[in-house]
Structure 1
Amino acid sequence: MRLSYENKLLGILALSFGFVFFDRLALSFLFPFIATELQLDNAQLGMLASALALTWSLSGVGLGALSDRLQARKPMLLLAVLAFSLFSAASGLVGGFVSLLLFRALMGVAEGPVLPIAQSMLAEASTPARRGFNMGIVNGSAPGLLGAVIGPPLLIALATAYGWRTAFYLSCIPGLLIAWLIWRHVRERAPHVSSATLSVRHGLPARGMLQLLRHRNILLCVLIACSYITWFIILISFTPTFLVQVKGLTPARMGAVMSSLGLAWVVWGALVPAISDHIGRKPAMVVFSLIAACCPLVLLQVNDFSTLLLLVFLSYTGLGCFTLFMATIPAETVSPTVIATALGMIMGVGELVGGFVAPTAAGMAADRYGLPVVMWIAMAAALLPALLSLGLRETAPRRVASAATLCHGDTATR
């Protein structure tokens, strides 16, 4: 049976963004090995994460908007996948902190436009009733599966057997295969899909980023991104080292906990957006953000290994929320012609604050006060989005249509 273009595109874009995070998170999993050879400390780990986040944010904003203006999403996506794969492999060539910092920064430039371009293509090709689910697969489940379930045990096993440099070299192979799939199967525009079906209500046809920020949903999504990316980057960057140095876990057990986080990422990454298709984007954001705030507390307080694995899985719900504030809500809020611009701005500003500033500050705090302090910072960073989400305007097609029907019914009875 031939796959529909919607499903084929979903699979290719899921692989694309999944391997973005496979390459991005490789440094976190390999850092205990790298730090020993290159004599790096926690502050430098934070700086490495910050450098990638800085270039990722600037690239996401600039190239995301450029893809809207040029309507050249396929070639830009193809070049981005090729480039980040090669720069990730080049990380294995480094001789010290400065060269590692350079290659991670270059990788951020290549990775920045992947999400806004991919989600703008998917939003256009998706059936409205399953838009949240599709976007959740690309934004949540795929990076969780490839970057946090498969990544930790595979990279740790390669580093243990052959060295961390070899692990980086081999990381480029999947990206080259994905680039071929994009070249062969992805189309610039989805066939037989009208942009008028993209969202329940369009708004803000203007292209200017400042004009986009006048819409309450877009402004709130930017603020939520700043806080939520802080939660994510701190957890994903410092948890491996925290588990080994503070909890005293072996590298294998640390990898198991990170895989539990990754499995939760896969499950909640698809489940939260799918639930939001039914209950609404706003209530899903509030409830699952509150649960996500519990994850750092679990890492701090739970010592039994089996219990830790279970509770980490149950509380790591935040990556499902990422799809909502970073892709689905904006796509259902603005005109189809500026989706990549809006998504790139939300991701870019969020990465600038949460990915660039926060890791370095957290690393310095960890060196001064101890690694447990980063978990308290992460907890606060998930509580704020729950509060901000209370101000969102609902965009889920089913909920908006239900509200419109109710409103019309009330009007008819008057």
Structure 2
Amino acid sequence: MTHTATAPDTAAANRYENRLLLILFLAFGFVFFDRQALSFLAPYMDRDFGLSNAELGTLSGVLALTWALAGMFAGRLSDALGRRKPILVAAVVLFSLFSASSGLMGGFAGLLVARALMGTAEGAVLPMAQSLMVEASRESRRGFNMGLLQGSSAGLLGGILAPLVVVWIAEAYDWRVAFYVTILPGLVIAALIWKFVREWSPRTPVAPAQEKAPAVKVPLGQVLRLRNIVVCMLIACCYLTWFVTIITFTPTYLTEVKGFTPGTMSGVMTCLGVAWVLWGFATPAISDRIGRKPALIGFTALAVCCPLAVVYVGDPVLLGAIMVLTYTGLGCFTLFMATIPAETVPRAALATALGVIMGVGELAGGFLGPMIAGWASDQWGLQAAMFIAAGGALAVVALSFALKETAPAVLRRAAA
């Protein structure tokens, strides 16, 4: 007997889209809460461990390394199995446990192991979350939804709440306690994913016979022959250098070079979080209308100015205001890491494409970038890290001209 798929219930599909967005918003937001915590706690950890700039960069880099490898492996595994949800649940549970383990370590080597394990779990979250979200989204809200999920969530929880919460806990109790607070939220989010997230979106219903059918495999080589995928990989390398270098070294730069108090530093870093939330959804939403390519070029040109402001602007209030206006890159992340690839490859290769782009970017920009910036800072001062970050964003501007436009509304206007 042949099974046929029925037309989706639009109201039910819209409700599921909004519920999924909320759950995945919280999931990826807490991933970045954990990832950001190390940078904000570095001044406190330095009192116990005496971390050099190179060691701080290595702690950031090893998480990016295992994040990258896990992302590529999980994306390929997900497409091979045709399943996202079990991998996502396991990843959320494990990153919560591994994050808390950082507070148990007694030295640099232990922290290195804890951060490596944490990256192994966290790397699987984004490819799974974005793959689920893109299928559940209305075309008119695709960029907006994916921007909220990846950009604004990380900005709100990792950029605004993280510096306020972890610095307060470190001041009131101890920096180790700040790592312990992530266990409960992670377990709650994993339970929500298990209960409410579906393997298939009601917006793209699948017949019962198809749900258990073997997944159609798309060779990796076929994915890598697409120009947009290759360009997005190169952009990811440069943009991760910009991002990870800024979040790793700015807190230390503000306290050690500019002499800001921990409270003032926390306030300035919170401005980055405000910008992260704002541009995290605004940039992809604007790209839904003007196109992915011009949005990426324009907002990245602004992002070049952000690390330069850290070096040249001395007043913390003015610096915070400039950061809000120029920390636009996190909105662009959604475009080259998720939206453009999702509009370029078939569903059967979606998680693979997202995992490869994220993985290669994390390897080059997230792993090697902060290590090189840390070494350069030990040689020539912390301002070297900020110049490296600005150079990464400038390279993205040049690379973005090679992209093919994918925004549906823009393509329809061009065809008309």
- TM-score, length-normalised on structure 2? 0.93
Residue 189 (structure 1) aligned to one of 196, 200, 211: 200
Q: Report whether the alignment pairs 1:24 with 2:59.
A: no
Which residue, out of 306, 312, 324, partners 1:301?
A: 312
Once residues 132 and 194 of structure 1 are traced to their aligned partners in structure 2, the CA distance between those partners, rounded to angstroms, is 21
Match of 2:59 among 25, 35, 48: 48
Tell whether 2:391 aligns with 1:380. yes
Task: Report the equivalent of 2:330.
Answer: 319
State whether residues 120 and 339 of structure 1, in contact with CA within 8 Å, keep that contact through their aligned partners in structure 2: yes
Match of 2:183 in 1: 172
1:102 corresponds to which residue? Answer: 113
How far off its partner does 1:194 sit?
5.2
Deviation at 1:170, TM superposition (A): 1.1
Once the two structures are superposed, residues 148-175 of structure 1 have per-residue CA deviations (whole angstroms, 9 ceiling, x without a partner) of 1011011000001100011111122211
1:283 and 1:68 map into 2 onto residues whose CA distance is 31
Percent of aligned pairs with the same amino acid? 56
Aligned match of 1:396? 407
Asked whether 1:226 is paired with 2:237, we answer: yes
Please give the per-residue CA displacement for 1:253-286, whole angstroms capped at 9, x wherever unaligned: 0000110001100000100000000000000000
Letter in 1 for 2:317: S
Matching residue within 262, 265, 280 for 2:273 = 262
In 2, the alpha carbon distance for the partners of 1:342 and 1:101 equals 29
- 1:200 alignment counterpart: none
Please state how far the C-alpha of 1:208 moved relative to its aligned partner. 2.3
Give the 3-state SS of the residue equivalent to 1:392 in structure 2.
coil
> Who is 1:410 aligned against?
none
Amino acid at match of 2:85: K
Structure 2 gap segments, 5+ residues each: 1-10, 207-215
Deviations 1:38-76 (A, max 9, x none): 121111001101110110000000111101111221111
Q: Which residue of 2 aligns with 1:121?
A: 132
Q: Is the 8 A contact 2:233 2:358 kept in 1?
A: yes
Q: How does 1:208-227 map to 2 (within 5 A)?
A: 208-227=219-238
Aligned to 1:201: none
Q: 1: CA distance between counterparts of 2:398 and 2:173?
A: 47
Deviations 1:90-120 (A, max 9, x none): 1100011111100100000000110001000
Shift of 1:241: 0.3
- Matched residues in 1 for 2:118 and 2:309: separation? 32
Structure 1 moving runs of 4+ over 6 Å = none
Shift of 1:35: 1.2
In structure 2, what is the equivalent of residue 287 of structure 1? 298
Match of 2:169 among 140, 158, 183: 158
Aligned to 2:284: 273
Once the two structures are superposed, the pairs formed by residues 52-63 of structure 1 within 5 Å of their partners are: 52-63=63-74
> 1 CA distance for matches of 2:254 and 2:186?
30
- C-alpha spacing 1:212/1:206, structure 2 compared with 1 (3 Å): farther
Alignment correspondent of 1:246: 257
Give the aligned partner of residue 211 of structure 2.
none
Q: Which residue identity is paired with 1:263?
A: V
Cα deviation, 1:228-270, whole Å, max 9, x if unaligned, reads 0000000000000000011110000000011000110000010
Q: In 2, Cα distance between the equivalents of 1:44 and 1:61? A: 26
**C-alpha distance in structure 1 between counterparts of 2:51 and 2:25, whole Å:** 33
Paired residues in the alignment total: 396
Shift of 1:206: 6.4
Map residues 321-360 of structure 1 onto 2, 5 A cutoff: 321-360=332-371
Q: CA RMSD in A?
A: 1.3
Partner of 1:202: none
TM-score, length-scaled by structure 1: 0.94
Amino acid at match of 2:327: Y
CA 1:270–1:194: 2 relative to 1, 3 Å: same
Given residue 59 of structure 1, which amino acid in structure 2 is its aligned partner? A
SS at match of 1:401: helix
Is 1:368 the counterpart of 2:376? The answer is no
Distance 1:91 1:144 in 2: 22
Q: Is this contact kept in 2: 1:209–1:345, CA < 8 A?
A: no
In the alignment, structure 1 segments of 5+ residues that lack a partner are 196-204, 406-414
For 1:89, the aligned partner's letter is A
CA contact (8 A) 1:133 1:273 kept: yes
- Which secondary structure does the structure 1 equivalent of 2:400 belong to? helix
Distance 2:308 2:58 in 1: 25
Residues 357 and 43 of structure 1: CA distance in aligned 2, closer, same or farther (over 3 Å): same
Q: Distance in 1 between matches of 2:285 and 2:112?
A: 38
CA distance in 2, matches of 1:147, 1:126: 24
Distance in 2 of aligned mates of 1:372 and 1:11: 38
Query: Aligned residue for 1:77?
Result: 88
Counterparts of 1:207 and 1:160, CA distance in 2: 51
TM-superposition CA deviations, 1:286-330 (whole Å, max 9, x none)? 000100000011111111121111001100000000000000000
Which residue matches 1:412? none
Residue 36 of structure 1: CA displacement? 1.1
